[in-house]
Structure 1
Amino acid sequence: MVQVVFVHGVANRKSDADYDANLAIRDRRFKELAFSSADVTMQNPYWGEFGADPQWKLASVPKFDSQYEALGIGAAFAQGNGAEILEAARIDFAAVVGALSVAALSGQSGVPAQGMELFWMGAARYASAQPRPAWLSSVSDDEQFCDRLRKEAEAGALVQGLGFFDQVKAAADKIKGSASNLVNGPFARAGREKFTPELAIFIGDVFRYLRADNARTKIRKTVCDAIIAAGKQRKSGEPLVLIGHSMGGVILYDLLSSSETVEGLSADIGTAFEVDLLLTVGSQVALFEEMKLYEASTPEFSGQTRPVPRPSGVKNWWNAFDKMDVLSFVTSPVFEGSEDFSVDTIAGVRDAHSAYFASTMFYARLNARLKNIGLLA
């Protein structure tokens, strides 16, 4: 028999329509693929009820179907069909000047040349004073627009210099067409509409856990109770595997790195507490240690001294990450005795964080490694 405790990550709520179905699917895949040669008992502590609870139901997330007063170039491009700089400038001249200055001044190595900075400050002053210059109706294309803007900005900046027209034109070419695609493209819309609520709950759940209050205590107790239940059911020689996805890995490490918590687990189980395998998946464990956010974090271990030792009761620590998963981090540069494994799910950035448990090869390869180290026959 293998005792497995799986600690979920952020933004998991039983109120979600697919929560129970996803849990059952994941359990089945672990049992039939990852631990196929052994009987398995799965514990799935649910701590989502103690996580973030947005009181306005995420009303603060911007909506694509709502109208807002525009301070940037995106709305101008949307109204003008994204075809031309000039067309957008006729809708919102100041926003276009601002976007051109960003394109010209961003990414500069070192401090921008004084003349260039003065030029764009002059352009900003001009656009503030003349939000709808009459000459916009007399120029007929982007090149004429750039040349006229150059003349007005030079006058306002009291600078004359060769190459300012080229700079304006280069900035225009850089942003032309991209703003509309970025703001209104179907991928961008889908990404924003999917990512922002999930990221909001991610941030909320992280802050709820890190705050030393009642919610944190309840989250830790919920996970500890599941570990204790697995420990009491475990017979001599049977493996105990703890799996943490995303924030679940952070919670597990936080518990296992606390000597007081481990002593408490040992007392409740009735024997010295040991974990045969800690598996963190798509997790931020190392990032949080770099920021010294754990109870056990100390200045003794750093990038200038030496890595943090693996928690003493953990025999093996594997960390799975996907290079496309922006919320996953490697552990081996920060922790001694941890092994990193790359998981390529072929999922895009939008779906990579949850794709690990949809990949049947993830479970199959985990099974092979478990047999490799003797945890499975």
Structure 2
Amino acid sequence: MPFVFVHGVNTRAGDAYDKGVNARHKFLSQVTFPKLAFSQTKQLAFFDPYWGGEGATPRWQNRSMPRYGDKFAAMGAAENAIADTVNSKIDFTANDKAIILKIARKNGITAALDVLMLQLVREGATEADLKEFTPAGSAVGRFAKENEFPNWLTEVDDDDTFIYRLSREVEKSNAHPGAAAMGFGNVWERLKETAARIGNSVDDRTSQAILTLAREKLQEQATLFLGDAFVYFKNRWIDKDKARRKPAAPVDPVAIRNGLVSDVIPSIVLQALIDGNNAKTKDDPYLIVMAHSMGGNIMYDLCTDFLSYVNPRFDIDLLITVGSQFSMFQEIDMFSGVKLPQQIGKDSRISKPTIIRKWINCFDKNDIFGYNASAIFDDVEDFEYDTGFGVTGAHGGYFERFSFYDRLGIRIADLLPAAAGAK
């Protein structure tokens, strides 16, 4: 099945980018798409158009931003998993034996599980590892829907007893009947080992580092977001010869590859959409596109303007925008291909582009770059998801959360009922 992912701002090629793509593919392959029956025996085809190299390039390497130190740079993977996750200060101690328990008490069982799964991925978990962990993780997710902060959290003292008690409570709740008998015992033991590695790697400076550097991280995110957004809208419809013009319709894929459609960024994404559409088959008939942050703005721009120049026309069966700003940019009329209502009032809406059959818009209220869509658009479903991250980590945190992929698979199965499998 073709799946196109359009990344957002502050994405540049390198080791971190490669690891992020690899982790996302693992989560989608082993957590999300097994819930769709048509994907069980089919090969997932991932298309990841990379446009970050065409984004903003600060002349002085962001030297205008105040700096507060290099504490985050000195942290290891486990410390960053913690630093990215907590919403506010949690007092960690060196070699903390209750670090996951503290997160569960503060942010809930789902957040605690997500930290453990994130750590596993950052340590290099394989797709086989995730396949082994997914049933237990989904069972915890179902349990947490009704028991996010169970009273027994005050009755356990460390991570070992927390994970043991959680395993027993999940089994008793029938969130996944026969959990232990199905081989989950090994999973729980591995989660205990992961919790121990996290605790052993964290020292007394972690809590303070989170607070000290929050402003620096947030300011850097805002700077890079503005830079990439300005570059995109400034260069819109500028061709390779720097002439500001629109192409004659229709435009074929060859023209896109030769850079005749527009500036480079839309051309890169357009080509991935065409390739994804061409990968559809009778057995795998859906083209699904996920777009994060600025990627959502690019997709909306393409669907309201650029794609009308592409021949042959095609539909996007499901668009999933995550932490995006297209509704905000629409409010200030940044998309020239959109026909606005004659009168705009509190009850007026814009119709979604006809080439998008289904549209989910995901956002976290802690994500300052994530906006709702249903107040501006008809037929767009808002899906509020709590990443458990604070304001500095929420914007990029969706794709590091087991629970995000787990719930997303269930939602996709509901929207594409012919594809629904075991939930």
Contact 1:52 1:205 in 2 (8 A): yes
Q: 1:225 aligns with which of 242, 265, 271?
A: 271
In structure 2, the partner of 1:6 is 5
Q: Tell me the alpha carbon deviations over residues 7-54 of structure 1, each in whole angstroms, 9 at most, x when there is no partner.
A: 000000003x31101111011111221112413211000000100011
2:218–2:391 Cα contact (<8 Å) kept? no
Tell me: CA distance 1:375–1:192, structure 2 relative to 1, closer, same or farther (3 Å).
farther
Please say if residues 35 and 376 of structure 1, whose CA atoms lie closer than 8 Å, have aligned partners that are also in contact. no
Partner of 1:262: 307
Name the residue aligned to 2:380: 338
Partner of residue 364, structure 1: 406
User: Paired residue for 1:197, among 201, 220, 240?
Assistant: 220
Query: How much has 1:63 moved relative to structure 2?
Result: 2.7
Amino acid in the other structure paired with 2:13 = K
Where does structure 1 differ by over 4 angstroms across 4 or more consecutive aligned residues?
A: 185-188
C-alpha spacing 1:304/1:372, structure 2 compared with 1 (3 Å): closer
* Cα distance, 1:291 vs structure 2: 1.0
For 1:8 and 1:294, how far apart are their aligned partners in 2?
Answer: 19
Q: Residue by residue, what CA displacement relative to the aligned partner does 1:86-106 show, whole Å, maximum 9, x if unpaired?
A: xxxxxxxxxxxxxxxxxxxxx
Report what 1:353 is aligned to. 395
8 Å CA contact retained: 1:6, 1:43? yes
Distance 1:30 1:243 in 2: 11
Once residues 278 and 51 of structure 1 are traced to their aligned partners in structure 2, the CA distance between those partners, rounded to angstroms, is 23
Partners of 1:230 and 1:35 lie apart in 2 by 17
Q: 1:306 to 1:325 in 2, by over 3 A?
A: same
Question: Which residue is 1:48 aligned to?
Answer: 52
Matched residue, 1:102: none
Q: Supply the distance in 1 between the matched residues of 2:67 and 2:403 (Cα, whole angstroms).
A: 37
SS across alignment from 1:350: coil
Question: Shift of residue 300 of structure 1?
Answer: 2.3
Match of 1:280 in 2: 321
Structure 1 letter corresponding to 2:392: R
Q: Is 1:235 aligned with 2:281? A: yes
Match of 2:293 in 1: 246
For structure 1, which runs of at least 5 residues remain unmatched after alignment? 66-184
* Inter-CA distance 375–52: structure 2 relative to 1 (3 Å threshold): farther
Match of 1:134 in 2: none
Aligned to 1:296: 337
Q: Distance in 2 between matches of 1:45 and 1:61?
A: 30
The 8 Å contact of residues 7 and 243 in structure 1, kept in 2 or not, is answered as yes
Preserved contact between residue 277 and residue 314 of structure 1 (Cα < 8 Å): yes
Bigger Rg over Cα: 1
CA distance in 2, matches of 1:61, 1:375: 51
Distance 1:317 1:208, change over 3 A: same
The code of the aligned residue for 2:362 comes to A
Secondary structure of 2:271 counterpart: helix
Amino acid at match of 2:298: I
Match of 2:168 in 1: none
Q: Check 1:299–1:238 CA distance in 2 against 1; reply closer, same or farther (3 A cut).
A: closer
Q: State how far apart, in whole Å, the 1-side matches of 2:268 and 2:275 are.
A: 11
2:380 & 2:51 partners in 1: Cα distance? Answer: 26
Q: Is the CA contact (8 Å cut-off) linking 2:296 and 2:326 kept in structure 1?
A: yes
Structure 1 residue 205: Cα displacement? 0.1
1:375–1:263 Cα change, 3 Å: farther
Go from structure 1 to structure 2 and tell me whether the alpha carbon gap of 1:362 and 1:294 turns closer, same or farther (over 3 Å shift).
same
Cα distance, 1:264 vs structure 2: 3.3
Residue of structure 2 equivalent to 1:206:
229
The aligned residue for residue 29 of structure 1 is 27
Q: Deviations over 1:65-110 (max 9, x none)?
A: 7xxxxxxxxxxxxxxxxxxxxxxxxxxxxxxxxxxxxxxxxxxxxx
Question: SS of 1:221's equivalent?
Answer: helix
Considering Cα pairs closer than 8 Å and 6+ residues apart, tell me whether 1 or 2 has the greater RCO: 2
Cα 1:60–1:24, aligned 2, differ >3 Å: closer, same or farther? same
Give yes or no for contact 1:292–1:298 (8 Å, CA) kept in 2: no
The sequence identity of aligned pairs, in percent, is 32
Normalised by the length of structure 2, the TM-score is: 0.56
| 2:388 partner amino acid | I
Separation in structure 1 between the aligned mates of residue 3 and residue 373 of structure 2, nearest angstrom: 22
Amino acid across the alignment from 2:308: E
* Aligned partner of residue 209 in structure 1, secondary structure: helix
- The residue that corresponds to 1:153 in the other structure is none
- RMSD after superposition: 1.9
CA contact (8 A) 1:317 1:339 kept: yes
SS at match of 1:35: helix
- CA deviation vs aligned residue, 1:186-237 (integer Å, no higher than 9, x gap): 5453012222222211110000001134597100000000001111121246
Q: Is the 8 A contact 1:303 1:334 kept in 2?
A: no
Counterpart CA distance in 1 for 2:266 and 2:384 is 29
Q: Helix, strand or coil for the counterpart of 1:316?
A: strand
Q: Provide the rounded CA distance (Å) in 2 between the counterparts of 1:293 and 1:315.
A: 23
**TM-aligned CA distance change 1:331 to 1:375, over 3 Å:** farther
CA distance in 2, matches of 1:43, 1:348: 30
1:4 to 1:55, Cα distance in 2 relative to 1, 3 A: same
Report the alpha carbon displacement of residue 375 of structure 1 after superposing the two structures with TM: 5.3
